[in-house]
Structure 1
Amino acid sequence: MESTSSSSSSYIIYRPEKLKRCHVFDFLLPWRILKGSGHVESSHHHEDYQGSIETHWIAFLTCVIQKILLLINRPLSFLGFTLEFTLNFFSLNGGILKLIARILTGSSLVIPDPESAEYRSFLGHLDGRIHLYRSSSAPSCIDKTPATSKIKGITPLELCMMAAKIAYDNPAYVKNVVTNHWKMHFVGFFNCWNEFLIDKTTQAFIFCDRPKNAQVIVVAFRGTETFNAKDWCTDVDLSWLSMGEMGRVHLGFMKALGLQDEKDCVKGWPKDYRGDKELAYYMIREKLKTLLQKNKDAKIIITGHSLGAALATLFPALLIYHQQHSILTSLFGIYTFGQPRVGEKQFGSFMEAQLNANFKRYIRVVYRFDIVPLGFPSMIDFQSSLTLEAASTTMAGTTHRC
């Protein structure tokens, strides 16, 4: 599958950190050439897109948004920590009234530990559910989904929905929920490196339905954290890289998975990684190989929400790229929630053919008019067709709007 053709080196990269006020004219005038302006890099295999003023404005605004996000990264992170700590301080002490009573009576106060199993994220406070769904009155979007077919008594969509939700919390919290509430086997939590953001910005965890003779292995990627500006930068990046016959793919999402060269997919995605960094794709791939050696009949499910959903979609694409048949043959399905578009039409067609050939379940759940999965109404050139979405239940994937 790996190719050394020239198409593998086709790319467009936007550099928001190099954006200056004078560059506004590059985007305002559709006949201006963006390449060579300092904030846009393009391969010689791809002509600079000279579209409408609207598409140029979208590119300009996203670069401005990224630049602002990079500037406010630290204060936003501090705001998030303060808010989460405050919410946990109140909740762990029984709420405002009980907290006041504790202070007045001189009782000891519980000081939140951000790494403890009781410490919830901001999103965990918005939705505190941790138990798997047990009622007969399932939400309509789940009840009507073909994916409710079970694996050894486990409903994949239900399990993935909860796994994608708790992925936003810390490792101890996730382990506690998987082990003590779901009564399953927690394998590990992965905090992985992004070579281009120079930080550990990608998180995922793996668990099985049981410690031995497992029937189900779940990989859940964390989505965009509310107060993580670097995550938001990844989401709004319009840069792309060609993957040869697979088509063009969102560059920011691939960087989050462990891409090593942003201008060449062959160098960026070597089949075997020899470095010492903890890269999401390679770490999780090797962990799955080890688990399958011990649990030969297990089926793998990959899931995530938002940014995590994008990574959950691209992860099997890289498995196909590297011809990892031992994992692909055990792949039961992909279940994503609020997934942004990850590749152009060619990529979607390629993946659809692969899904039909290898497994039948690609379920994409979105909430009606959510702008994240719908994408902006008009993106530049290839961005306008960024998608991996099948239109009906007769195809490899199904989109369900709740």
Structure 2
Amino acid sequence: MASFSSTEYVIYHPEKLGLSDVFSFFLFGRRLHGSELVELKTQEAKLTGFNFITLLTLILQKILLWLNGPLALLGRVVEFILNLISLNGGPFKLILHLLTGKLVIPKRDSAEFRSLIGHIDGRTDLQKPKPFLSFYESSMEKINLSAINMIDLTMMAAKIVYENEAYVKNVITNHWKMNFVGFYNCWNEYVKGEETQAFIFTDRPLDAQLIVVAFRGTEPFNGKDWVTDIDLSWLSMGEEMGRVHLGFMKALGLQDDKDAKKGWPKTYVGTKRLAYYVIREQITALLKINPDAKVIVTGHSLGGALATLFPSVLMLHQEESLLKSLYGVYTYGQPRVGDKKFGSYMSGQLNPIFRRYFRVVYRYDMVPRVPFDDKISQFSHFGGCLYYRSWFKGEVLKEEPARNYFSLFYLPSKYFNAWLDLFRALFIGFTKGKDYRESLVSILFRVLGLIIPGAASHSPRDYVNGGRLAKITITEEHEEEEEAILV
């Protein structure tokens, strides 16, 4: 178990940021140490000084906190309107149903109700079985699941977890013909609400070979989710394990943000449903009746961060039986979750347990490029990257290009690729078939990428397209990265 000789932390408080603070930091280089904007216990003095990225992050977080209420309201209105139109068969039939008294009113908890993400990409069926690249599926025969494309299965699971329980259950049961286990709404201490969602399913009700856990990611209209993604706060997990992103750990179930040992007791005795403990309990129960089953954890965006951190807490608690059953972690558009020491620890620990950590990034997706990898924040990815340069081309890299979001050098390329994705989206239905045809909602979302570069590239649709269409190139100079991505 990791040593807890260190209980260092840095906790930022963007809610306390004022205009006077902005001027003081920007004009006079005011130090963060001693201000109400940061609580810290660290020996590294450089973390307490002025840094433009730190200030910019605090400003963005403050804006997102201001907008959280209006964003949530806007989201409910937009999703209600989209479902009102789609459930009534389109705008013209909507008018007809209204005139004839046959109007279908959307219900948020029904199996037919879709989120904005569900309207951007409404596909529910898995890709049909076919021979897959040995890069992804080289050892699937070991668990007799060679007919399943794990990239497609995990990305689709990471996509539908944004929907409500009834929708998820319907897709897994009726479309995938698999066994739905449960949908879990868990307490998120960072945002003070039941905002961490996950679900579990197995490939079959009895004698299951596969157990999949999918964590929900960043919701488009949840300002606090975006605040969590870009937060620079961290907590030391000890000298051996390194530092981890505090917001993600609190979303997973951390109970003390200044002491990791107190924050992660092996046995939880509280009353709140905390994601780590709920998921661990469910997997343990499933493995008792399916001892040969393999466990896969997945997620998109913030969900990818939780999927990566979940096994780290299992390691902390020395859950050897669960770790031996852990077959792989697949993340899509995942933000950074820890520092380089944490990455080294995870790589060293995962290698003897399983060799399947896939971190997948599409183009200039903004989320994998936060929190920033610089001398102040020190967040860093680990394990290599399966990088989609487009829907049709993928590469194995040590890290995606333009590693931090604010990179002026890559700005022209970001806009060019946003236009290219929009152009392709208009015609892909004709070239690749109706399964790839994009809705008006999806096209409009791509327009957002012309305004905020990298925003549209975060769409689950592009990750699904990449997994189904891209040819993966592994060049000689990337052999080391190929090994890294398979740690």
TM-score by length of 1: 0.91
- Give the AA of the match of 1:129: R
Q: Do 1:26 and 1:34's aligned partners in 2 also have CA atoms closer than 8 Å? A: no
Does 174-183 or 69-78 show the bigger shift?
A: 69-78
- Give the AA of the match of 2:334: Q
Q: CA deviation at 1:30?
A: 8.2
Q: Do 1:356 and 1:396's aligned partners in 2 also have CA atoms closer than 8 Å? A: no
The yes-or-no answer on 1:397 pairing with 2:457 is no
Decide whether aligned partners of structure 1 residues 337 and 147 sit closer, same or farther in structure 2, where only a CA change above 3 A counts. farther
Match of 1:298 among 285, 288, 293: 293
SS in 2 for 1:270: coil
SS in 2 for 1:329: helix
Instruction: Tell me what 1:43 maps to.
Output: 41
Decide whether aligned partners of structure 1 residues 40 and 29 sit closer, same or farther in structure 2, where only a CA change above 3 A counts. farther
Q: Do 1:10 and 1:46's aligned partners in 2 also have CA atoms closer than 8 Å? A: no
- Give the AA of the match of 1:200: E
Q: Do 1:257 and 1:311's aligned partners in 2 also have CA atoms closer than 8 Å? A: yes
SS in 2 for 1:285: helix
Alpha-carbon distance in 1 for matches of 2:25, 2:322: 44
Does 217-226 or 38-47 show the bigger shift?
A: 38-47
Q: Do 2:230 and 2:370's aligned partners in 1 also have CA atoms closer than 8 Å? A: no
SS in 1 for 2:307: helix
SS in 1 for 2:344: helix
After superposition, give the CA deviation of every residue in 1:115-172 in whole Å (9 maximum; x if it has no partner): 0000011000000000000165x9xxx7474346534232222210110010110011
Instruction: Tell me what 2:271 maps to.
Output: 276
The yes-or-no answer on 1:202 pairing with 2:196 is yes
Alpha-carbon distance in 1 for matches of 2:22, 2:290: 56
The yes-or-no answer on 1:188 pairing with 2:182 is yes
Gaps of 5+ in 2: 385-397, 399-479
SS in 2 for 1:187: strand
After superposition, give the CA deviation of every residue in 1:353-390 in whole Å (9 maximum; x if it has no partner): 1111111100111112222213366545243x422233
The correspondence of residues 354-369 of structure 1 with structure 2, limited to 5 A, is 354-369=349-364
Decide whether aligned partners of structure 1 residues 25 and 148 sit closer, same or farther in structure 2, where only a CA change above 3 A counts. farther
After superposition, give the CA deviation of every residue in 1:198-227 in whole Å (9 maximum; x if it has no partner): 111111100000111100000000110000
Q: CA deviation at 1:17?
A: 1.3
Alpha-carbon distance in 1 for matches of 2:375, 2:81: 42
Alpha-carbon distance in 1 for matches of 2:26, 2:171: 51
Alpha-carbon distance in 2 for matches of 1:43, 1:190: 34
- Give the AA of the match of 1:210: R
Decide whether aligned partners of structure 1 residues 190 and 47 sit closer, same or farther in structure 2, where only a CA change above 3 A counts. same
Number of equivalences: 388
SS in 2 for 1:326: helix
Alpha-carbon distance in 2 for matches of 1:364, 1:200: 27
SS in 2 for 1:278: coil
Match of 2:329 among 330, 334, 349: 334
Alpha-carbon distance in 2 for matches of 1:44, 1:30: 24
Alpha-carbon distance in 2 for matches of 1:234, 1:101: 44
Alpha-carbon distance in 2 for matches of 1:268, 1:58: 28
- Give the AA of the match of 2:297: I
Q: CA deviation at 1:26?
A: 5.2
Match of 1:146 among 130, 136, 140: 136
Match of 1:87 among 82, 87, 94: 82
Q: Do 1:2 and 1:266's aligned partners in 2 also have CA atoms closer than 8 Å? A: no
Does 151-160 or 115-124 show the bigger shift?
A: 151-160
The correspondence of residues 313-328 of structure 1 with structure 2, limited to 5 A, is 313-328=308-323
- Give the AA of the match of 2:323: L
- Give the AA of the match of 1:365: V
Alpha-carbon distance in 2 for matches of 1:14, 1:120: 35
SS in 2 for 1:223: coil
Match of 2:284 among 280, 285, 289: 289
Q: CA deviation at 1:396?
A: 4.6
Decide whether aligned partners of structure 1 residues 371 and 196 sit closer, same or farther in structure 2, where only a CA change above 3 A counts. closer
Does 61-70 or 247-256 show the bigger shift?
A: 61-70
Alpha-carbon distance in 1 for matches of 2:246, 2:66: 21
The correspondence of residues 218-229 of structure 1 with structure 2, limited to 5 A, is 218-229=212-223
Alpha-carbon distance in 2 for matches of 1:240, 1:44: 11
Gaps of 5+ in 1: none
Match of 1:12 among 10, 26, 29: 10
After superposition, give the CA deviation of every residue in 1:265-309 in whole Å (9 maximum; x if it has no partner): 111111111100000011101111111001000000000001000
Q: Do 2:46 and 2:376's aligned partners in 1 also have CA atoms closer than 8 Å? A: no
Instruction: Tell me what 1:59 maps to.
Output: 54
SS in 2 for 1:246: coil
Alpha-carbon distance in 1 for matches of 2:138, 2:153: 10
TM-score by length of 2: 0.76
After superposition, give the CA deviation of every residue in 1:245-281 in whole Å (9 maximum; x if it has no partner): 1111111110110111111111111111110000001
Decide whether aligned partners of structure 1 residues 333 and 19 sit closer, same or farther in structure 2, where only a CA change above 3 A counts. same
- Give the AA of the match of 1:197: V
Q: CA deviation at 1:231?
A: 0.8
Does 243-252 or 26-35 show the bigger shift?
A: 26-35
Match of 1:253 among 248, 261, 264: 248
Q: CA deviation at 1:228?
A: 0.7
The percentage of counterpart residues that share the same residue type is 57
Alpha-carbon distance in 1 for matches of 2:48, 2:29: 6
After superposition, give the CA deviation of every residue in 1:305-335 in whole Å (9 maximum; x if it has no partner): 0100011000001111111111100000011
Alpha-carbon distance in 1 for matches of 2:187, 2:25: 33
Q: CA deviation at 1:230?
A: 1.3
- Give the AA of the match of 2:14: P
The correspondence of residues 336-355 of structure 1 with structure 2, limited to 5 A, is 336-355=331-350
The yes-or-no answer on 1:239 pairing with 2:233 is yes
Does 350-359 or 62-71 show the bigger shift?
A: 62-71
